[in-house]
Amino acid sequence: MQKKLLLFSLLAAGSVIVARAQFSEFQNNAAASTFTLSSDQNTLQIGGRTSFYYEDRVMKQGNVNLSHNGFNVGDMDIDLLGKTANKFIYEFHLSPIDLVTAAATQNTSNPANSGIKAAYLQYVGFLVHIKLGFDKVPFSQGSLTEKWASPMWSHANLYGGDYFSRRDIGLTLNTNLMNNRLHLYGGMYSGLGENCFEYGGDASGKPEFIGRAEYSYPGKMKYASIDEENSPVVNFRVALNARYMDKTQPAGHSVATDVPDAPGAFGLRIVDGKRSVYGGDFIIKYRGLSFLFETDMVNIQPTSTADPLYEGTATSVNKNKVNAGGFTTSLNYNLEKLHSCVTIMYETLNPNDLAPGHEEWLYLGYAYKLSGFNSVFKIEYYRPMVEDVVSDPLKYTAQIRAGYQIVF
């Protein structure tokens, strides 16, 4: 363990010292090196993000496989964002590292990481903006908030993609009302989430519907968990969102055989039957402090009484319903004078209310910002406080990630 401590200390020191040495490169270009090309009618921005970290897991006794311990690529993204004079916006956000990983492992490593993070076009010339294509769906503050603009290396489990999809292909409408204080979203999507490129569609042929309503005061708020502006006045946002799909499969088809990767780790993302998710979230910022809360509850009605989600319970017990979900809450403090930001987050989850047990997690994060979150050293620690040994058994008791990130 002493060796690990030494290694982490060297990594932390090395990252920051190297960043200081590289600082001159960014000093005249504090927003990093995003490029913009413009002609009379079009503007195209070329940007991206790259990050690397060292990960160390404290394994339970008897677990000799330490393959998780080592260096990892966090992001290696490239982003093209264009705007036209006739009010169209288009974006193509690609993650080459995910594409390479998917190709090298024949898409078995992480099927939900297709390598494409956004590919859409949007028209903003009307009061209601129209977006068509693949992008984040308007559900969950935690999912919509960029994790790179925080001290954390990973999303909380609740909105990380296991309980519901974060991206999908479809149509999104959104509008701002009441002087930008009320923001409404609505859309219909494939329902396959990030696996839409893998399967195209499912046998039910039915979409997923998603809606979200946000109210911000005193004005609109960006999807950022950290109060980098050190807000001189209290500002907050409260939101409610819901999503629904009926993916009852026709005779001769099943989710398990037709789209086996799509249900995800707990089988919640898509089911042979009906599924709805209801959630609410809240954020408040003041003087560098920010507090966030989010809850999401999944309600599933599998068609077959033999569905594994029922955990073998009798209908009289399960009432033909399976519930999952939980909540996360976090407190962040941005200390701009020290270029520092700290985060503490807690979440409690239950992947299946018909199985015994639940899980609770504690997260700690620290960021030292050389140039905002565009050039930043981050260290994240998390551990299960309560383990759900039935639904989500773990081989480790804690994990640390420390590394460096550049957004360009």
Partner 1 sequence: MTSNKLTYRMIFAALSLSVLLVSFKKKEIPTTKFKFEHFKLLKKIPEPSDIVYDKETGHTFIVSDHGKLFECDTLGNIIRKAPEEGMDFEGVEILDSFVYVSDETPRKVYQYRKSDLSLVNVFSVTWQGALNKAYESLTYNATKKCFLLVSQQPVAVVEYDKDFKEIKKYPFRLARDISSARWHNGFVYLLSGKDECIFKCDPNTYEALEKYNINVLNPEGLAFDAHENILITSDDLQRLYFFNNLPIIK
**154 in contact with partner 1 (CB under 8 A):** no
Question: Which one among 18, 36, 63, 103 touches partner 1, defined by CB under 8 A?
Answer: 36
Beta strand residue intervals within 218-265, DSSP E: 235-246
**5 in contact with partner 1 (CB under 8 A):** yes
Q: How far apart are CA 248 and CA 253, in angstroms?
A: 10
Question: Which one among 18, 25, 38, 126 touches partner 1, defined by CB under 8 A?
Answer: 38
Q: How far apart are CA 397 and CA 376, in angstroms?
A: 27
**379 in contact with partner 1 (CB under 8 A):** yes
**389 in contact with partner 1 (CB under 8 A):** no
Give 248 or 374: the residue with its C-beta nearer to partner 1: 374
Part of the chain binding partner 1 (CB under 8 A), chosen from 8-16, 108-116, 161-169, 384-392: 8-16
Greatest Cα pair distance, the chain, in angstroms, is 68
Let me know if 105 is exposed, middle or buried by CB neighbors in 10 A (0-12, 13-18, 19+): exposed
Tokens standing for 353? Answer: 């209310």
CA torsion angle for 172, 178, 180, 183 (degrees, to 10)?
Answer: -30
Distance of CA 92 to the CA centre of its chain: 18
Bridge partner residues of 345 (DSSP): 330, 363
**240 in contact with partner 1 (CB under 8 A):** no
Tokens standing for 297? Answer: 């509850």
Specify whether the CB–CB gap between 270 and 202 falls below 8 A: yes
**226 in contact with partner 1 (CB under 8 A):** no
Residues 166-185, interacting with partner 1 (CB under 8 A): 179-180
By rule CB under 8 A, what string of x and - marks binding of each residue 40-69 to partner 1? xx-x-x-x----------x-----------
Give 89 or 265: the residue with its C-beta nearer to partner 1: 89
- Report the interface residues with partner 1, using CB under 8 A: 1-2, 4-5, 8-9, 12-13, 16, 20, 27-32, 34-38, 40-41, 43, 45, 47, 58, 81, 83, 85, 179-180, 218-221, 228-233, 235, 337-340, 364, 366, 368, 372, 377, 379, 381, 383, 397-398, 400, 402
